């Protein structure tokens, strides 16, 4: 049974949630036995991976994405992913629709931001990190979100992100203005964008 279980893990790129393992025919006893033998390791509560795999390059984002597939990486976590900040995120900032339940995760630490549906669905990109699809807002949507949450993250972080965006990315002014409208920060962002071009 354990060889079959390992094969099931391999078919899922070495990562499985407890519910997926049970659904695939791996019982709890086998799962715990594999863990005790060091064949698999517990990444987070209810999330397991083959121990023989190379270390995960983005463990926090991968773990959050696997546990909460609807979560979208936002704000400073998204800025870090796009290399638009010198800040080192100490937690994973995620966006969820307003009506979603707040996820509970022991590790990594997360900060949940509830967005209106229109703001939540706008600007989502899917990035493959360690064979896992992670949803992250694109650079332009991330900047609009940062302006919206400027009092929480600090205007210095926002201005640095804008500067790094200008030097490291292709400036998409119409896209920036569109996301500014969606996030209701167009009046605040416009003067900064005008100085940028």
Tens place of pLDDT per residue across the chain (197 aa): 688 888 888 888 787 888 888 888 898 888 888 888 888 888 777 778 788 877 766 778 888 888 888 999 999 999 999 999 998 888 999 999 988 877 777 778 899 999 999 999 999 999 988 778 899 999 999 999 999 999 999 999 999 999 999 998 888 999 999 999 999 999 999 998 888 76
Q: Are residues 32 and 108 in the same domain?
A: no
Longest dimension (CA), the chain: 64
C-alpha to C-alpha distance for 145 and 42, rounded to whole angstroms: 33
Angle subtended by helix axes 155-168 and 139-148, to nearest 10 = 160
Q: Are residues 124 and 156 in the same domain?
A: yes
C-alpha to C-alpha distance for 77 and 41, rounded to whole angstroms: 25
The distance from CA 130 to its chain's CA centroid, rounded to whole angstroms, is 13
Q: Are residues 44 and 121 in the same domain?
A: no
Q: Are residues 39 and 111 in the same domain?
A: no
Q: Which domain holds residue 14?
A: 2-50
Neighbours of 122 (CB within 10 A): 21
pLDDT of residue 8: 87
pLDDT of residue 56: 67
Q: Are residues 169 and 115 in the same domain?
A: yes
C-alpha to C-alpha distance for 25 and 28, rounded to whole angstroms: 10
Q: Are residues 64 and 142 in the same domain?
A: yes
Q: Are residues 112 and 152 in the same domain?
A: yes
Q: Provide the domain count of the chain.
A: 2
Contact status, residue 65 vs residue 44, Cβ threshold 8 Å: no
Read off the pTM. Answer: 0.75
Contact status, residue 16 vs residue 8, Cβ threshold 8 Å: yes
* Edge-to-edge order in the sheet of strand 124-129: 110-115, 92-97, 72-73, 132-137, 124-129
**Residue carrying structure tokens 């940028």:** 196
Give the tokens for residue 144: 């609009």
């Amino acid at each position: 049974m354990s060889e079959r279980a390992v094969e099931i893990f391999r078919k899922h790129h070495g990562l499985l949630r407890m519910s997926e393992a049970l659904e695939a025919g791996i019982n709890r006893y086998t799962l715990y036995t594999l863990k005790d033998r060091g064949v698999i390791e517990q990444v987070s509560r209810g999330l397991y991976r083959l121990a023989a795999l190379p270390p995960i390059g983005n463990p926090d984002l991968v773990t959050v994405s696997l546990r909460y597939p609807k979560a979208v990486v936002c704000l400073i976590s998204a800025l870090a992913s796009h290399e638009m900040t010198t800040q080192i995120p100490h937690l994973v900032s995620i966006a969820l629709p307003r009506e979603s339940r707040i996820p509970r995760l022991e590790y990594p630490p997360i900060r949940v931001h509830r967005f209106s549906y229109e703001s939540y669905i706008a600007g989502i990109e899917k990035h493959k990190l360690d064979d896992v699809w992670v949803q992250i807002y694109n650079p332009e949507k991330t900047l609009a979100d940062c302006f919206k949450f400027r009092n929480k993250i600090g205007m210095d972080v926002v201005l640095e992100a804008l500067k790094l965006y200008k030097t490291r990315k292709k400036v998409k002014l119409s896209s920036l203005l569109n996301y500014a409208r969606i996030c209701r920060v167009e009046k605040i962002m416009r003067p900064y964008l005008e100085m940028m071009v």
